[in-house]
Amino acid sequence: MIAKQPFGRTGHESTRAVFGAASLSKATQEAADQALETLLRYGINHIDVAASYGDAELRIAPWFRQYPSNFFLATKTDKRTYDDAKRQIHSSLERIGVERLDLIQLHNLADPIEWDIALSPKGVLDACIEAREQGLVRFIGVTGHGSQIAATHIRSLERFDFDSVLLPYSHIMMQDPHYASNFERLSEICHGRNVAMLTIKSIARRHWWGREHNRTTWYEPFENQADIDAAVHWVLARPGIFLATPGDLSLLPRVLEAANKFEASPSEETMRKQEESLEVSPLFV
């Protein structure tokens, strides 16, 4: 079974691999239920979904009727104002069919103008705080993509005491000195405050750049089990962080199998050889 550790200050012992439900955005219920069987087989107990992930919230709704206490439930709102976010939070509760969310996250809060709106009075943060006060959500987090997002999360934590952050983390991303420096600073802050860190894009290989899209991920992922193993093990070798599975259901068993057999980090030489042979390039520059 995949190892567990405390998800920040939430009190929940989450599996270090978290199910990224973006993979359910266009899935049938039958395909979703097959994914559930995979999650149960590996003991996954944490789901990360979003209101903007197509039908994903609807697809996981039957899971919570069947297994009401099996999963830590995190969703996201991509709205920036109080009124819009309040409506979306209530919509997520209805779509999933639950009375309370474990974690509501401000989705992809990266744009400076949106950031200011979201974290100012009558912004989305006010709606999240109100929902927490009403018992509709337990914790509040913030997510984002891009090479600047680690620095932006630092600013966000200066503005509000978020319970979790989500951002990219991979060997190729950490070769960017600017990103690596801000990631390390963010990690130090999160460790000091007991803020959970969920990471994404662990098995991202490169942009498609005109190649045929044979996966539902917006980037070209690693395919071979050995390559996925190396990428996943490199991420999990960092204590305290979590890894979200990619947005493609066919890759889910491979990533969970990699997490299941994690023991130690691959060598720097192994990672560099992988990047050279597979022509790996960063998604964000």
In a domain, residue 285? The reply is: no
In a domain, residue 282? The reply is: no
Q: Exposure of 211 by Cβ count < 10 A (0-12 exposed, 13-18 middle, 19+ buried)?
A: exposed
Contact 228, 253 (CB under 8 A): no
Instruction: Report the pLDDT averaged over residues 71-81.
Output: 98
Could you read off the pLDDT of 15-74 as tens digits, one per residue?
999 999 999 999 999 999 999 999 999 999 999 999 999 999 999 999 999 999 999 999
Residue 198 lies in domain: 4-277
In a domain, residue 130? The reply is: yes
CA 212 from centre of chain:
26
CA distances from 32 to 2, 23, 36, 188, 225 (A): 21, 9, 6, 37, 22
Entry pTM = 0.97
Instruction: Report the pLDDT averaged over residues 114-139.
Output: 98
pLDDT value at residue 203: 97
pLDDT value at residue 229: 98
In a domain, residue 164? The reply is: yes
Q: pLDDT tier at 1 (50, 70, 90 boundaries)?
A: confident
Which secondary-structure segment (H or E) carries 151?
helix 149-159
Main-chain dihedrals φ then ψ at residue 126, nearest 5 degrees:
-60, -40
In a domain, residue 143? The reply is: yes
Q: What CATH number does residue 248 fall under?
A: 3.20.20.100
In a domain, residue 176? The reply is: yes
Number of domains in the chain: 1
Phi-psi label, residue 43: left if phi above 0, alpha if psi -120 to 50, beta otherwise: left
In a domain, residue 284? The reply is: no
Q: pLDDT tier at 264 (50, 70, 90 boundaries)?
A: very high
Contact 253, 220 (CB under 8 A): no
Q: Exposure of 285 by Cβ count < 10 A (0-12 exposed, 13-18 middle, 19+ buried)?
A: exposed
In a domain, residue 113? The reply is: yes
